[in-house]
Every structure is written in C-alpha cells, then in structure tokens.
Copies of this chain bind each other. A is one copy, B any other.
C-alpha cells in the first residue's frame, strides 16, 4: 500500500526518454524554487526554471499540489520511518515522541510556507494534506500509544489531532520572526503529560 508498488504514475518509468528527463528536471527546479520563493511559488516560475512550457508541467503533474507532494514525498517518508527507529532507540517512549516531533517540526518549518499550504481548504493542497496524514498518522499514533502505555502521557489524544495541532502551530514561522512555534509545541507536549481532566 506504499512505495513497494511501482505504480506511482508520476515517479516510475513512464514511456519516453525526454518525458522522464523533463519530469526529473521539473522536480529539481521545483525543489530549488521552493527554497528561494517558498511553496507558493507560481507554476510559471517553476516551469521557467526547468526550461519547459506550462503544458509540460501539467502533463507531468495534473495539479500544482501534485508537484509539491512529489517534491516532498521522500522527506515525508523519511519522517515516517524515523518513528519506529526513535522508539527503539530512545530511553523512553516520550523521549522518542519529543524527538520525532522535533523532526516533524523541522520539516514543516524548513520549507517556507509548507505548514500553511497544508491547510486542506485553501489553494488545493488536499492531496498533500492527505499524503501527509496517511503516511504519518500511523507513525505518530504508535509513538503516542507507546508513551501512553508507559504512563508518560494521557491517552485521550488521537494522533490526527496531535499532528494537526503541531502542523497548525507551525504556520506563519516564516512571516514573523518573533513567532516561535516550538515554544507552543513544547507547551502542548507539557499539556499531554497532565493527568486526565476530572
């Protein structure tokens, strides 16, 4: 149900050589543009950077969001894979959870505006949102369950809410240097340690 099947439509071996090359060129160009101009960079800018036309862009990525997914797919997967590893390594499940959250936040904050783009409603990033959640919620769930089982945190918060909360708190880190999302996320984690509300 994941990367093991090579039926990815926009990443596996398509057909013609130039097509494959252009797809990769677009991915590279997008990665570069996202660094300088943020994930909201216009499609035209990405296509120009890649030196291809708009038609080419949209044949490879039916929608702007599909490109964003493709660009960040690896990193989402890395984040997902880090979960179990941290759990195995860390002194306690909660410590692993903290480290994982840190990784997750790094990811969101490093890419300019990614967190904001993840809001399902706005510009059509539902697909990104969905992939994110599909891949990461189970991992996060595992970490939360382990910490709850160890009695380190209250057990009444599902991974979906937890991740949405963190994702939301990361919004706007670029636009305002005063804002420190990690501080609030730390508070959220502190709140998790509180005993069940009477």
Q: Which A residues lie at the B interface, using CB under 8 A?
A: 113, 116, 119-122, 157, 160-162, 164-165, 168-169, 171-172, 174-176, 178-180, 183-184, 186-194, 197
Contacts and interface: CB of A to CB of B under 8 A. Distances in A.
| Identical copies of this chain, number | 2
Contact of A119 (B157, B160, B172, B192): B172
Nearest to A121: B175
A81 B120 CA distance: 34
Contact of A164 (B113, B179, B193): B179
Contact of A121 (B121, B174, B184): B174
B172 A184 contact: no
Contacts of A161: 179-180, 183-184
Contacts of A178: 160
B168 A183 contact: no
